[in-house]
Structure 1
Amino acid sequence: MNGDWLLRGRDGRLSVYQSSGDAVLCRVERAPGGPWDEPRKVGGEQRLLPVLAVGQGADRYAHLVAWRPTVQGEAGLVHSTHFRARLAALDWNPVGHPNKKGDRTGTPAVAVDAEGRAHVFVRNKGGGVSMLAQKEKGGWEPWQDIRGKGVQDGLAAVTGESGRVELYAAVPEGLLYWRQEEPGARPVLKESLKAPVRPGTLYALATSPASTTLYYTGTGGELWAWRPGGEPVALLPSAGHGPVAAVRCELDGHDCTLLAQRSASGRVAFAAYPTELESAGAWWTESGPQLTVDARVSLGTDEDGRVVAATLSPSTGTLLLTRRKDEPGLALEAWRAV
């Protein structure tokens, strides 16, 4: 899984996406805040490989990208759009391979610009990054190599408040950062950072009109925050080994960023701080039951603006959910299985 898999649709309902065997499944609330439907297959009967990238635009349409097997030893990428989670998604549409053909080259990442065009990024066979972008009036532009060298798996794609798409990648010596200069333009490699980065821990979030913030874990176990143009800031020790999830929310009248991560103890750890004010400090508070080792965490907000946290354990299929209580601070309801 790459990207936020807990989403709020245009109708206010929450939905979750997961890769399951050779398919992608979706679960959705029957009504905002209400009971949930059973999992349903997304995109038709196409057989998929167990990897999924999810992105959502300002229109709240979900864009899903996965690899599918083609011929022996080879695979290709497919894309589907889910306009409303309680309706059927579009069938999986083949969108090709960054090297024209071959086996999987990496886990894709998806971001959606202000015009609702999906941008798909994936590591290519040469160790750089290739991109595929939707045309404004349908269809796809040709694959483009946007450079990079020694790129490791786990790209983090994000759309800034400007509506322009940005991308972060880990390389052996640190981080790379791409940004669109104009809407619809090819993202340009703008900056590199020398830093010890643990691969597979990148998560990017739009944090102001001018900036996105990348969260990553260093090789020493610290969770860092980096905004291009500045220096990375050590925020607090990482609670666990996987990537964090993050969401902007209002806490007691303040614009805050909430982080969540499966902790080393197996529970969900939360930390909040004023957005882009890392110097204020943050600390972890654990919540909920112990989770399986493969459990992932995602954060979002419901139609009332309340923080929602979800955990999904692929090995068991267990989906747990909690919401913020209507009271000061970050008090959460009891976790419940849905």
Structure 2
Amino acid sequence: MNGDWLLRGRDGRLSVYLPVGDAVLCRAESGPGGPWQAARRVGGNQKLHPVLAVGQGVDGYAHLVAWRPTKPGESGLVHSTHFRPRLAALDWIPIGHPDKTGDRTGTPAVAVDAQGRAHVFVRNKGGGVSMLGQKEKGGWGPWRDLKGSDVQEEPAAVTGESGRVELYAAAPGRLLHWRQEEAGATPVLQEEIDAPVRPATLRALATSAQRTTLFYTDTSGDLCAWRPGNKPVTLLASAGPGPVSAVRCELDGHDCTLLAQRSASGRVAFAAYPTEQESAGAWWTESGPQLATDAEVSVAVDEEDEVVAATLSPTKGQLLLTRRKDEPGLALQAWQQV
């Protein structure tokens, strides 16, 4: 999955999304902090490829993007909107292909601007990035080529506090950053820097009124943070091979960034530090049981703005959840299967 798949809806309920076989499943709380409902299929009965991108707007609506097979050797992208966790999501709607026809070109990413318009990004057959955006009055605009070359599999899309959409992508030895110069505009390639990036480790987060931060693992195994206009900073050694999940939260009265990652030992590792103050340092603390090798980790804040973390295994279908205890620091409750 690309993006944070543990979300808090506009009604305060948490939900999770999971690609299983040829479908996407959703589980949601019956009420804020309450028991969880059984998994439901999202978007009707269309058969999908096992890849999913998730984005969420300030309105709390979830936007889901996946690939579906169209005919032998070809695929197309589809989009669904989920307005509230307890409601059924809209049916999957075809949104086309960055090259008009062909098979899958890469893992998509999706971000939602301040007006609630989804922006879908995906690598094209030329190795650059293409984008498709929703129109303000409904429907979708044309596919646009954002350029770039040799872009790797999974870009990271994010919406800044300004409401404008940004995109990060990696290429061999490089990082690229696109940003909308004004609301509704096509994102423009703003900066390209030399950086040794491990593929499929990008995760972006809005960290201040004007800036977003990209987290990635470099080829030496260090977790790094990059804000365009500055040089990347090494934060700490990565806990495991995949991308981190990241959320801003308040810890003991301080604006902090919390990172979570499946560690090499198979447990969940957490690290927190004052937002945009990487020089303060961070360290990993492991929590919970050993997980299946395909388990993914996501962090969010609940209806009371308290930290909640989840792990999900596609093969086992097992959802584990923990919340922060009502005490100083980042003490967590015992992990529970839901």
- TM-score relative to the length of structure 1: 1.00
Name the residue aligned to 2:50: 50
Rounded to whole Å, the distance in 1 between the matches of 2:292 and 2:220 is: 24
Q: Which amino acid aligns with 2:289?
A: P
Name the residue aligned to 1:249: 249
Rounded to whole Å, the distance in 2 between the matches of 1:282 and 1:85 is: 34
Name the residue aligned to 1:29: 29
Percent of residue pairs bearing the same amino acid type = 78
Name the residue aligned to 1:286: 286
CA RMSD of aligned residues (A): 0.4
Task: Quote how far apart the aligned CAs of 1:137 are.
Answer: 0.4
Which 4+ stretches in 1 moved above 2 angstroms? none
Query: Secondary structure at the residue paired with 1:115?
Result: coil
Rounded to whole Å, the distance in 1 between the matches of 2:269 and 2:174 is: 26
Rounded to whole Å, the distance in 2 between the matches of 1:155 and 1:249 is: 24
Q: Which amino acid aligns with 1:282?
A: A
Rounded to whole Å, the distance in 2 between the matches of 1:115 and 1:141 is: 15
Rounded to whole Å, the distance in 2 between the matches of 1:49 and 1:236 is: 35
- How do 1:204-283 residues align onto structure 2 when only pairs under 5 Å count? 204-283=204-283
Task: Quote how far apart the aligned CAs of 1:292 are.
Answer: 1.1
Rounded to whole Å, the distance in 2 between the matches of 1:137 and 1:10 is: 22
Name the residue aligned to 2:321: 321
| Matching of residue 98 in structure 1 with residue 131 in structure 2 | no
Name the residue aligned to 1:80: 80
Rounded to whole Å, the distance in 2 between the matches of 1:132 and 1:213 is: 23
Q: Which amino acid aligns with 2:136?
A: E
Q: Which amino acid aligns with 2:209?
A: P
In structure 1, the gaps of 5 or more residues are none
Name the residue aligned to 2:165: 165
Task: Quote how far apart the aligned CAs of 1:315 are.
Answer: 1.3
Q: Which amino acid aligns with 2:133?
A: A
In structure 2, the gaps of 5 or more residues are none
Query: Secondary structure at the residue paired with 2:72?
Result: coil
Rounded to whole Å, the distance in 2 between the matches of 1:173 and 1:334 is: 41
Rounded to whole Å, the distance in 1 between the matches of 2:245 and 2:49 is: 24
Rounded to whole Å, the distance in 2 between the matches of 1:49 and 1:244 is: 23
Name the residue aligned to 1:187: 187
- TM-score relative to the length of structure 2: 1.00
In the comparison of the two structures, how many residue pairs are matched? 338
Rounded to whole Å, the distance in 2 between the matches of 1:162 and 1:255 is: 18
Query: Secondary structure at the residue paired with 1:228?
Result: coil
Q: Which amino acid aligns with 2:302?
A: D
Query: Secondary structure at the residue paired with 2:331?
Result: coil
Rounded to whole Å, the distance in 1 between the matches of 2:303 and 2:85 is: 15
Name the residue aligned to 2:196: 196
Rounded to whole Å, the distance in 2 between the matches of 1:128 and 1:231 is: 23
Rounded to whole Å, the distance in 2 between the matches of 1:319 and 1:36 is: 10
Rounded to whole Å, the distance in 1 between the matches of 2:48 and 2:263 is: 30
Rounded to whole Å, the distance in 2 between the matches of 1:202 and 1:168 is: 8
Task: Quote how far apart the aligned CAs of 1:220 are.
Answer: 0.3
After superposition, what is the alpha-carbon deviation per residue over 1:178-228, rounded to whole angstroms, capped at 9, x for unaligned? 000000000000001101100100000000001000000000010000000
Q: Which amino acid aligns with 2:168?
A: Y
Rounded to whole Å, the distance in 2 between the matches of 1:197 and 1:54 is: 23
Rounded to whole Å, the distance in 1 between the matches of 2:193 and 2:298 is: 27
Query: Secondary structure at the residue paired with 1:279?
Result: helix
Task: Quote how far apart the aligned CAs of 1:244 are.
Answer: 0.4
Rounded to whole Å, the distance in 2 between the matches of 1:173 and 1:262 is: 25
Name the residue aligned to 1:334: 334
After superposition, what is the alpha-carbon deviation per residue over 1:259-313, rounded to whole angstroms, capped at 9, x for unaligned? 0000000000000000000000000000000011111100100000100000001
Q: Which amino acid aligns with 1:288?
A: G
Rounded to whole Å, the distance in 1 between the matches of 2:241 and 2:111 is: 24
Name the residue aligned to 1:89: 89
Query: Secondary structure at the residue paired with 1:140?
Result: coil
- How do 1:132-147 residues align onto structure 2 when only pairs under 5 Å count? 132-147=132-147
Name the residue aligned to 1:305: 305
After superposition, what is the alpha-carbon deviation per residue over 1:88-118, rounded to whole angstroms, capped at 9, x for unaligned? 1111000000000000000000000000000
Rounded to whole Å, the distance in 1 between the matches of 2:313 and 2:211 is: 32
Name the residue aligned to 2:114: 114
